[in-house]
């Protein structure tokens, strides 16, 4: 957006895609959601970002007492390898 000369005025951060959709549908402004999380809604229009450099961070969490599980350890190890790739 900045490359196009658009400087966003971020006045609110909303924590769920449902809340973003409802805020946009209520006329609060515009929002950004992942295409993987987009749910079609006739009240709003979805426009794709071309060549956008948008980053989304995800975290792996588990109960401490289950950390030693072979399945959970293997999943965390695979995620670490993917992260380093």
Model pLDDT for residues 50-73, shown as the tens digit of each residue: 777 777 777 888 999 998 999 999
* HEC readout, 49-66: CCCCCCCCCCCCCCCHHH
- Compute the 3-state secondary structure of the chain and give helix, strand, coil in percent, each to the nearest 5: 35, 0, 65
| Confidence at residue 70, expressed as pLDDT on a 0 to 100 scale | 94
Is the domain of 1 the same as that of 36? yes
Is the domain of 47 the same as that of 61? no
Q: What span, in angstroms and rounded, lies between the C-alpha atoms of 54 and 29?
A: 19
Q: What span, in angstroms and rounded, lies between the C-alpha atoms of 73 and 33?
A: 30
Residue ranges making up the domain that contains 81: 55-85
pTM of the full predicted structure? 0.56
Q: How many domains does the chain have?
A: 2
pLDDT in tens, 15-30: 888 999 999 999 998 8
Is the domain of 70 the same as that of 36? no
Is the domain of 3 the same as that of 38? yes
From first CA to last CA, the distance across the chain in angstroms is 28
Is the domain of 62 the same as that of 30? no
């Amino acid at each position: 957006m900045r490359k196009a000369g658009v400087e966003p005025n971020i006045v609110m951060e909303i924590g769920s895609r449902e809340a973003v959709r409802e805020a946009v549908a209520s006329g609060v402004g515009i929002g950004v959601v992942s295409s993987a999380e987009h749910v079609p809604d006739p009240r709003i229009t979805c426009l794709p970002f071309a060549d956008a450099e948008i980053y989304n961070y995800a975290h792996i969490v588990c109960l401490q007492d289950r950390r030693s599980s072979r399945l959970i350890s293997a999943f965390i190890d695979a995620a670490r390898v993917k992260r380093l790739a």
